[in-house]
Chains A and B, each alone.
Chain A
Amino acid sequence: MPILTVLIVLPALGAALVAIVPRRLARPTALAASLATLGVAVAVWARFDPASAEPFPLHEGPWPWIPDLGVAWALGLDGVGLVFVLLTAVVVPAALAARSAPGRAPAALLLLSESAVLGCFTALDLFLFYAFFEAMLLPVLVVLAGFGGAGRIRAAVRLLLYTLAGSLPLLAAAVATWVHHRAAAGAPSALLADLLSTPVPAAWAPWLFAAFALAFAVKSAVVPLHGWLPDAYAEAPVGAVVVLSALLAKAGIYGFLRWALPLFPEAAVRAGPVLLALGSLGVLYGGLLAWVQRDLRRVVAWASVSHLGLCVVGLGAGTREALAGSAWQAAVHGLYTGALFLLVGVLEARTGRRGVDDFGGLAATAPRFAFLLGLAVLAAIAVPGLAGFPGEFLLVAGTWRVAPAAAVAAVLGAVLGAAYLLRVVERVCFGRPGADAPADLAPGEALPVAVLGLLLVGLGVFAGPFLDRVTPATDRVAAALEAARAGEGP
């Protein structure tokens, strides 16, 4: 059974079902579909052979799709893809279970987006990847524009503009890469393995890399291309924010690791300092802005900018440790950011407010909420023993050798992170409870966050088995970069 294809098709089928079942069954159906997808993802994990010497231990196809152009339905999974697939499969049910996730249409749209995200993380054909990369945003955009807060149209237009600015150059560069391969190999193909066999000439490579990098940088909100993020995170319904922040923003980091760095290693090495600088800038800029926000969602939004900046630093450093740390950090960031947005969403649903100073003393009145918020925050500031730590340490250790200044920026970002996130915990959970304190999490609300929290603890303690699946993939990328560096050096 082509399990990866099933994985991609299942949520889309679920979306179709959600659209036709009676209204009161819509949410259970959506949840069931996403849980079934999670089941398939777990089966994928079980089938994944970490000892395999192949670059992609699980792969399907290529089955011709547009044979004249050499475009094929080709899917494959290595360790990096595997963790992102698992992340997706875990986060979407949590997003759908959020009490504030509205009715039928958003649920169906989020499932559609899940399909595309899973496709994006498994596609091995450049055009297939591009199609998924574009498709995953549209349903979320519709949810944002149709069901968001007061500023939803503004936020949606912004998101659309930024995305277009990134994806049109990506398409052009993808076509150029494909054209070059057809000329060099004599037959059209957009398969990753084929494209890798015909390195792009040095004259083109920087431009093509720049186009790829632009699209991926917009997606993962690299400062100064982050303009879409604060409004979108502030206005979208909670479920959509969770999908947007936990999954879609990760596609950028994933795109670098899967496509941009391996296809253009020389250009990537030359662009390393730029990525390091922009990443460090993002770490500090996001951290400082998170510190002065008054809106809980915006605090988490800027924290995301800061933490994604950390991933970009790792990409720029390009060492084995840094790339592994980058992938790990990106995946784990999805877990804790998802948890944080879900928790803020509960407060919003209860009270309609979400200011940092709108609450107080929830540790007394809502202990479950306070416990989970504290756990997510501790994971976010990379306390060892929780999942955030291995990523952060690998990033710092791997970056130090290449660029000590960027490593210093990374740890400064961690200090800032403690400052602004602990401030949130303090304002929201400590102090005297207000008169109209919101009630504690109901079991149904606590469960999704608790699952994410359990994963944050589990991945922190048992980081090894997961990381061991990631490192062969990231090591390959690092080896390519290393070779490029060696070729350039003397």
Chain B
Amino acid sequence: MDSTLLWTLPGLPLAGALILFASGRRASRRFAAGVATGAALLALGVAAWTLAATLSGPGARIVADLGPWFAAGTVGARAVLAADPLTASMAVMVAGVGSLILAFSAGYMDDPEDRPGMARFFAAMDLFLASMLLLVLADDLLLLFVGWEGVGVCSWLLIGYWFREPANAAAGRKAFVVNRIGDAGLVLALALLLGALGPRATLRIPDLQAVLAADPGLLGGGAATVVGLLLLFAATGKSAQIPLYTWLPDAMAGPTPVSALIHAATMVTAGAWLLLRLHFVLALSPAVLGAVATVGAATALWAGLLALFPHDLKRVLAYSTISQLGLLFLGIGVGAATAAYFHLLTHAFFKALLFLAAGSVLHALHHEQDIRRMGGLARRMPWTGAAFLVGFLAIVGFPGFSGFFSKDAVLFAALAAEPTALGAAGFPLPVLLWAAGCLAALLTALYMSRLLLLVFLGRYRGDREPGESGPVLVAPLVVLAALALAGGVLDLPSWIGVEAGWLSSRVGPLLGDAVPAHHGAMEAAFALALALASLAVMAGAWRLWGTGGRGAAAIKALLPSTAAFLAARGRVDELYDAIAVRPARALASALAVRVEDAGVQRLAPGAAALLRAAGTWNGRVLQRGHLPDYALWIALGAGVLVLLAAVG
């Protein structure tokens, strides 16, 4: 195939976005959704074709090089995309989930008040897809950075889509600014890479890999660790990990399809994607791998705890996303990149499904988001309820569902991780990390059961009469449910009887993973044990919330201060505000008053006062406007000249 066709992958959604931006407020919902979804579907077709082409033979790689973008000194950015099974499969996922969510949006965004914003909404969604596909396919890190920032911009636009509400706009800004803090890490990491590589500097990913493989000493002396930590910092911003996760719960202010596409399935995986693409840089420093795993495990656990308390349906899902992404990071950190990628894909399916099911609920309830005013919706919305149930079973890892295989792959890898890989860097904690991951998995079962019980089971506590959503909303749910159910076939474990999973054999080598050894019975036992433990947790949850929520009150009574602390989101926002934002603003105000107004701005008046004093003296003494005085000065001057002439 003609390789430049690869550029149509970001190009088609970009064209859709441009058409919609140009059409402005005239665009109807039908037109806008049609253009946006059509572009996404075309991109999906190209992506699928590309994937097929990359699978045609081992090592098949499609490179579409449009030449240099800009260059100066050792910096040389190229406009080059490349597809291999890894990037192409990710592109298929992004375009596929994107198409489904756009189709869903066509039905979801039917509020007549939104009518003038339709073009803006779908244009931003398409622009997002274009950016995300660019991020995924870019073969040059600076080009990847274009997509990286592009998704941030679109996220800003879409979180604040209902901009009349100041809180929404503020949430969008918070997301963008926190992301920019992470991006600063990425820019510095790239600068450091360029500086360290010297004359062999390159930001093209395969070249970088080749250069570093030929001479790992280029990143010696701790440089590899610094680069890795900066990359990790950048990834924590995009993928909402500790310490930069606080923007994601607030980002739920955006329309639900946005939450599903951007803040669950795709954009938030960009951080993990960056680490996957640059796995060979991380591999140079065990300390970095340890840090990645630690951040992941800590985030998975912490977000799992926070997910137990919110009353807002979407916020629970947001914390769940953070927690699941933590598992991804754990997988990357313990050297199981393929398993992490597997979980990335299945998570995209089931989390998009859960969000869209939640969207279907919110649509039926006219944007009532408080789960205390829901309940018993499974009977009123059977399709949505069934879809949510599939997503639920997938995320808690019910045997046979996609999450079962992927989560198990990550956690078993954490258990089986070479202790030396982490221990060498002073992280004697692989077992602890593994335990934290398992605990997070059990917490998943707990908070998801809470949602299921409070939203879909029991008795309806609201005052509206919700009914099932229309087919435009339900159809994408069905497709996603099928994917969430069957996504496990992407990488079946060896204990089930297959020789090697598809991802492990086709994508694993690209991620530097060897085809995993056959652990056989041990892995099977672990997987089933975890599933059984999850079932036990679900049973416990039934006792807590199944009877109308009295159990939750019991927990709160048992641990009042802990529960209050977690319900207040751990007061992390307040902490950041106190240690960073407020001091910086206080400093800025102090500078404005003390330094600028009282100092710098007095310089010119001070100099002017001096000049004025000199001028006053001149006016009073020398030039008082008395003609004979002037004549005297002239005469004296002439006399001096004559004298000088006489002497000289």
Is there a direct interface between A and B, measured as CB atoms under 8 Å apart in the complex?
yes
Return the contact of A289 from the options B173, B176, B588 (Cβ within 8 A). Answer: B588
The answer to whether the Cβ of B69 comes within 8 Å of any Cβ in the partner chain is yes
Smallest CB separation, A274 vs chain B (Å): 18
A361 touches B181 (CB 8 A): no
> Which of chain A's residues have a CB closer than 8 A to the CB of B176?
418, 422
- Looking at A100-108, A236-244, A395-403, the stretch in contact with chain B turns out to be A395-403
A422 touches B146 (CB 8 A): no
Bits for B145-172, please: 1 = Cβ < 8 Å to A, else 0: 1101110010010001001101011101
**Majority secondary structure, A binding face:** helix
Q: Give the nearest-CB partner of A420 in chain B.
A: B588
> Which of chain A's residues have a CB closer than 8 A to the CB of B149?
383-385
B69 touches A398 (CB 8 A): no
B74 touches A321 (CB 8 A): yes
Within 8 A of A (CB), among B68-124: 68-75, 77, 116
A396 touches B591 (CB 8 A): no
The answer to whether the Cβ of A426 comes within 8 Å of any Cβ in the partner chain is yes
Smallest CB separation, B14 vs chain A (Å): 10
- Looking at B42-50, B335-343, B598-606, B624-632, the stretch in contact with chain A turns out to be B598-606
The answer to whether the Cβ of B596 comes within 8 Å of any Cβ in the partner chain is yes
Return the contact of B25 from the options A367, A390, A396, A468 (Cβ within 8 A). Answer: A367
Return the contact of B608 from the options A161, A230, A398 (Cβ within 8 A). Answer: A161
Bits for A463-483, please: 1 = Cβ < 8 Å to B, else 0: 110011011001100100000
> Given A367-B25, A467-B71, A468-B71, A292–B146 Cβ distance below 8 Å?
no
> Which of chain B's residues have a CB closer than 8 A to the CB of A384?
142, 145-146, 148-150
B187 touches A165 (CB 8 A): no
The answer to whether the Cβ of B566 comes within 8 Å of any Cβ in the partner chain is no
> Which of chain A's residues have a CB closer than 8 A to the CB of B163?
361, 363-364, 429-431
The answer to whether the Cβ of B620 comes within 8 Å of any Cβ in the partner chain is no
A430 touches B142 (CB 8 A): no
Q: Give the nearest-CB partner of B169 in chain A.
A: A430
> Given A400-B191, A418-B177, A471–B72 Cβ distance below 8 Å?
yes
Candidate in A162, A224, A385, A468 with the most chain B CB atoms within 10 angstroms: A385
Smallest CB separation, A412 vs chain B (Å): 7
The answer to whether the Cβ of B194 comes within 8 Å of any Cβ in the partner chain is yes
Give the distance in Å from the alpha carbon of A419 to the alpha carbon of B580 in the complex. Answer: 13
Q: Give the nearest-CB partner of A392 in chain B.
A: B187
Give the distance in Å from the alpha carbon of A48 to the alpha carbon of B71 in the complex. Answer: 19
A165 touches B607 (CB 8 A): yes
Smallest CB separation, B342 vs chain A (Å): 30
Give the distance in Å from the alpha carbon of A161 to the alpha carbon of B166 in the complex. Answer: 44
The answer to whether the Cβ of A394 comes within 8 Å of any Cβ in the partner chain is yes
Bits for A5-41, please: 1 = Cβ < 8 Å to B, else 0: 0000000000000000000000000000000000000
Interface size class of A (residues with CB under 8 A): 35 or more
Q: How many residues on chain B are close to A (CB under 8 Å)?
A: 57
Q: Give the nearest-CB partner of B146 in chain A.
A: A384
Bits for B573-611, please: 1 = Cβ < 8 Å to A, else 0: 000000000001101110110001000110110011001
The answer to whether the Cβ of A432 comes within 8 Å of any Cβ in the partner chain is yes
Within 8 A of B (CB), among A335-379: 361, 363-364, 367, 378
The answer to whether the Cβ of B188 comes within 8 Å of any Cβ in the partner chain is yes
B180 touches A288 (CB 8 A): no
Q: Give the nearest-CB partner of A466 in chain B.
A: B70
> Which of chain B's residues have a CB closer than 8 A to the CB of A230?
601
A393 touches B604 (CB 8 A): no
Give the distance in Å from the alpha carbon of A308 to the alpha carbon of B153 in the complex. Answer: 24
Smallest CB separation, A389 vs chain B (Å): 8
B587 touches A464 (CB 8 A): no
> Which of chain A's residues have a CB closer than 8 A to the CB of B552?
none
B166 touches A227 (CB 8 A): no
Smallest CB separation, B15 vs chain A (Å): 14
> Which of chain A's residues have a CB closer than 8 A to the CB of B156?
422
Smallest CB separation, B147 vs chain A (Å): 9
A378 touches B585 (CB 8 A): no
B73 touches A324 (CB 8 A): yes
> Which of chain B's residues have a CB closer than 8 A to the CB of A399?
191
Return the contact of A394 from the options B68, B75, B148, B173 (Cβ within 8 A). Answer: B75
A415 touches B184 (CB 8 A): yes
> Which of chain B's residues have a CB closer than 8 A to the CB of A468?
71
Q: Give the nearest-CB partner of B180 in chain A.
A: A418
B604 touches A162 (CB 8 A): yes
Candidate in A288, A378, A381 with the most chain B CB atoms within 10 angstroms: A288
> Which of chain A's residues have a CB closer than 8 A to the CB of B585?
291-292
Give the distance in Å from the alpha carbon of A165 to the alpha carbon of B168 in the complex. Answer: 49
A227 touches B604 (CB 8 A): yes
Smallest CB separation, A157 vs chain B (Å): 6
The answer to whether the Cβ of A270 comes within 8 Å of any Cβ in the partner chain is no
Within 8 A of B (CB), among A391-439: 392-394, 396-401, 407-408, 411-412, 414-415, 418-419, 422-423, 426, 429-433
B150 touches A397 (CB 8 A): no
> Which of chain B's residues have a CB closer than 8 A to the CB of A158?
604
The answer to whether the Cβ of A181 comes within 8 Å of any Cβ in the partner chain is no
A394 touches B164 (CB 8 A): no
A289 touches B188 (CB 8 A): no
B591 touches A285 (CB 8 A): yes
B184 touches A411 (CB 8 A): yes
Within 8 A of B (CB), among A257-305: 285, 288-289, 291-293
Bits for B327-345, please: 1 = Cβ < 8 Å to A, else 0: 0000000000000000000
Return the contact of B70 from the options A226, A408, A414, A467 (Cβ within 8 A). Answer: A467
> Which of chain B's residues have a CB closer than 8 A to the CB of A157?
604, 608
The answer to whether the Cβ of B24 comes within 8 Å of any Cβ in the partner chain is yes
The answer to whether the Cβ of A325 comes within 8 Å of any Cβ in the partner chain is yes
Give the distance in Å from the alpha carbon of A475 to the alpha carbon of B74 in the complex. Answer: 12
> Which of chain B's residues have a CB closer than 8 A to the CB of A367?
24-25
Smallest CB separation, A221 vs chain B (Å): 11
Return the contact of A396 from the options B71, B191, B611 (Cβ within 8 A). Answer: B191
> Which of chain A's residues have a CB closer than 8 A to the CB of B190?
393, 397
> Which of chain B's residues have a CB closer than 8 A to the CB of A467?
70-72
The answer to whether the Cβ of B192 comes within 8 Å of any Cβ in the partner chain is yes
Within 8 A of A (CB), among B6-52: 24-25
A412 touches B601 (CB 8 A): no
Smallest CB separation, A409 vs chain B (Å): 11
B72 touches A394 (CB 8 A): yes
> Which of chain A's residues have a CB closer than 8 A to the CB of B25?
367
Give the distance in Å from the alpha carbon of A411 to the alpha carbon of B185 in the complex. Answer: 8
> Which of chain A's residues have a CB closer than 8 A to the CB of B376?
none
A414 touches B191 (CB 8 A): no
Smallest CB separation, B540 vs chain A (Å): 44
The answer to whether the Cβ of A307 comes within 8 Å of any Cβ in the partner chain is no
The answer to whether the Cβ of A320 comes within 8 Å of any Cβ in the partner chain is yes
Give the distance in Å from the alpha carbon of A158 to the alpha carbon of B169 in the complex. Answer: 39
Give the distance in Å from the alpha carbon of A471 to the alpha carbon of B596 in the complex. Answer: 37
The answer to whether the Cβ of A177 comes within 8 Å of any Cβ in the partner chain is no
The answer to whether the Cβ of A233 comes within 8 Å of any Cβ in the partner chain is no
> Which of chain A's residues have a CB closer than 8 A to the CB of B170?
426
15 contacts between A and B (CB under 8 A): A157-B608, A288-B584, A289-B588, A293-B592, A321-B74, A361-B163, A364-B116, A384-B146, A390-B77, A393-B75, A400-B188, A411-B188, A418-B177, A429-B163, A432-B164
Known: A390-B70, A400-B191. 17 other contacts (CB 8 A): A157-B604, A165-B607, A227-B600, A285-B591, A289-B588, A292-B585, A324-B72, A361-B163, A361-B164, A363-B163, A385-B150, A394-B75, A397-B74, A397-B194, A430-B163, A430-B166, A431-B164
Among all A-B residue pairs, the 6 with the closest Cβ atoms: A320-B73, A430-B169, A321-B73, A324-B72, A288-B588, A463-B70
